Amino acid sequence: MLQVSQLNQYYGSSHTLRGVSLSLEKGQCLALLGRNGVGKTTLLKCLMGVLPAASGQVRLGGRDITKLRPHERAALGIAYVPQGREIFARLSVEENLMMGMATKPGRKASTIRGEVYELFPVLKDMLQRRGGDLSGGQQQQLAIARALLADPQLIILDEPTEGIQPSIIKDIGRVIRLLRERGDIAILLCEQYFDFAHELADEFIVLSRGEVVASGSQKDMAHENVKRHLAV
């Protein structure tokens, strides 16, 4: 589904991503781990096309998308839930959800799929509320729901548990597990909350100073060699 090879990126003279490679299959969840400032968000932005990569290749379903713009990648089925959520604070919950269907012109609010409300029941009771008036955890759920309405093949989640209360973290974990079990989507989960990622991932990679320093399958994730690169 997703193949990244030898990706390099710079902010000015600082070499932020150093030859990053990874791959992710449909139906799988890949955890992207690493301490603060190692380049996780930068990598995700390069995958979405928000930032250009200096060199390297990104392929989605076999197609080279390295030079495509973010909206073109969205149309091909990549959905991105940014760190800090970035919902539209002044728009209603319903309008925020409709933004998720922007790649499907002509859709109306009535076509917001019931499935979204099944995954996130709290949103159904808050459709007319302003996004900015939701709690942080509710905003995170809204951001994930909005991403799912684009029918993605790949969903990219940047630290979905950051600053969120435990009960909502549980709800978000349940949704990610359901998506994974459904098997028709690839999930790239960037996390610093190790136990959360450990429960959900099939595979993992660890970044340190822009480089992949460890990777493997879930059963190797709790190994010393991995944990020493993390803030746990």
Ligand X SMILES: Nc1ncnc2c1ncn2[C@@H]1O[C@H](COP(=O)(O)OP(=O)(O)OP(=O)(O)O)[C@@H](O)[C@H]1O
The closest alpha carbon to 135, from 174, 169, 173, belongs to 169
Binding segment toward Mg ion, per CB under 5 A, in 80-88, 106-114, 117-125, 214-222: 80-88
Among residues 42, 66, 138, 215, the one that binds ligand X under rule CB under 6 A: 42
Structural element, H or E, at residue 20: strand 14-24
Query: Which residue do the tokens 């790649």 mark?
Result: 103
Residue 34 vs 77, nearer CB to ligand X: 34
Residue pair 44/156 in contact by the 8 Å Cβ criterion: yes
Cβ 208 to ligand X, closest distance in Å?
Answer: 10
Compute the Cα dihedral for 209, 214, 218, 222 and give only its sign.
Answer: negative
Residue 20 vs 150, nearer CB to ligand X: 20
Taking the C-alpha atoms of residue 225 and residue 222, their distance in angstroms, rounded to an integer, is 8
Cβ 195 to ligand X, closest distance in Å?
Answer: 17
Among residues 1, 28, 33, 39, the one that binds ligand X under rule CB under 6 A: 39
Lookup: tokens for 127: 């459709």
Among residues 2, 4, 22, 34, the one that binds ligand X under rule CB under 6 A: 34
Mask: binding to Mg ion, 109-138, rule CB under 5 A, as x and -? Answer: ------------------------------
The closest alpha carbon to 46, from 86, 80, 1, belongs to 80
Which residues lie near ligand X (CB under 6 A)? 11, 16, 34, 36-42, 83, 192
